[in-house]
Structure 1
Amino acid sequence: MKELTRSLRKNQTDAERVIWQQLRNRQLLGCKFRRQQVIGPFIVDFVCLEPKLVIEVDGGQHAEQQEYDQNRSHYLQQLGYRVLRFWNHEVLQDMPAVMGAIHLTILELRDTVKT
């Protein structure tokens, strides 16, 4: 799986590249994101281990694998992760809205941990 994750990092989609530029180097609320990270039997696009947030950027092929994606999200949720999914076109056409949703989710998750 290590070789696959390396390959995925080297061959990012345009949408993954764009969102990674916004997430890397703790730019968003000081959160450290990792890309193409193995969690159990899955490789997630982006993960922030604290506050347990997974971000998936989906292309057109995901329309045909909805059941797989649901099972995957369910598995991650069972581990305590919140899963946010965005379509490629959302990332490429409305990045401020995507980043706003991620920002709000991080704040919400941090508030949940405090209470």
Structure 2
Amino acid sequence: MTKKTLTILSPEDRAEAPAIEKRGRGWTISKARLDAIHEQARIAKLNPTEAQKALSAALNEANLGKYKLTRQQVIGSALVDFACNPLKIAVSIDEGGDPALLTRRDQSLAAVGVNLLRFPAADVLADPAAVVSQIVVAMKARYDERGRAHREQRRPPRDTAQ
């Protein structure tokens, strides 16, 4: 039996978006694998690390407007510490782990347009407010970027033949 993994397509191969699958919330993930990932997220949410607790408390105090970052979010087959789905921003606290696995996760998130912010656990524990300010700056930039793209999409093309 071969193990299926997420693959990263080259830019030439990504010309057309893949069709939405009817399983795994649009990702090609088996139901059993998706259930296992959600179980990992549930366990991680019940047993947060000290860095996750500190960042969560700092995010609760921050004024994020109508956007919120939810803890232990599953995106495809990746589990991130915090995520804001409307802005497609994810936050990961680096507390060790297999570098090859983390790199593959980062690439798969980038391939679907998720902006991943990574912070070392030591930085989060030392100054959670500074980490939150970096997250807020990234969220504002992403909000402005999405608003600009939306306005350009709605704007009728200019007639330059006058």
**TM tier, smaller:** 0.7 to 0.9
- Bigger fraction of residues in strand: 1
Aligned partners of 1:25 and 1:81: how far apart in 2?
24
Tell me the secondary structure at the aligned position of residue 57 of structure 1.
Answer: strand
TM-score by length of 1: 0.87
- Structure 1 residue 67: deviation in Å? 2.0
The alignment yields a C-alpha RMSD, in angstroms, of: 1.7
Structure 2 match to 1:31: 67
Which one has the largest radius of gyration?
2
Counterpart position of 1:53: 89
Distance apart, 1:31 and its partner CA = 1.4
Give the equivalent residue in structure 1 for 2:50.
14
The total of aligned residue pairs comes to 112
Runs of 4+ in 1 over 3 A off after TM superposition: 24-27
Q: 2:58, 2:129 within 8 Å by CA — same for their partners in 1?
A: no
Instruction: Flag the structure with more relative contact order, 1 or 2, with Cα contacts below 8 A and sequence separation at least 6.
Output: 1
- State the alpha-carbon separation in 2 of the partners of residues 97 and 26 from structure 1: 11
Q: What TM-score results when the alignment is normalised by the length of structure 2?
A: 0.64
Question: Which stretches in structure 2 are left out of the alignment for 5+ residues?
Answer: 1-35, 149-162
Structure 1 residue 95 and structure 2 residue 95: aligned?
no
Whether the 8 Å CA contact 2:58–2:128 is kept in 1: the answer is no
Match of 1:108 among 134, 141, 144: 141
Letter of the 2:84 counterpart: C
Query: Over residues 48-74 of structure 1, what are the superposed CA-to-partner deviations in whole Å (9 max), with x where a residue is unaligned?
Result: 012110000111x23xx2222111111
Q: Aligned pair 1:78/2:114, yes or no?
A: no
Q: Larger deviation: 8-17 or 24-33?
A: 24-33
Structure 1 residue 30 displacement after superposition: 2.9
1:42 corresponds to: 78
Deviations 1:22-49 (A, max 9, x none): 3349842331221111111121111001
Question: Contact (CA 8 Å) 1:37, 1:44: kept in 2 or not?
Answer: yes
One-letter amino acid of the counterpart of residue 138, structure 2:
T
Given residue 47 of structure 2, which amino acid in structure 1 is its aligned partner? N
Percent of pairs with identical residues: 29
Residue 73 of structure 1 aligns with an amino acid whose one-letter code is: D
Tell me, in whole angstroms, the C-alpha distance in 2 between the residues paired with 1:70 and 1:76.
Answer: 10
1:5 is matched with: 41
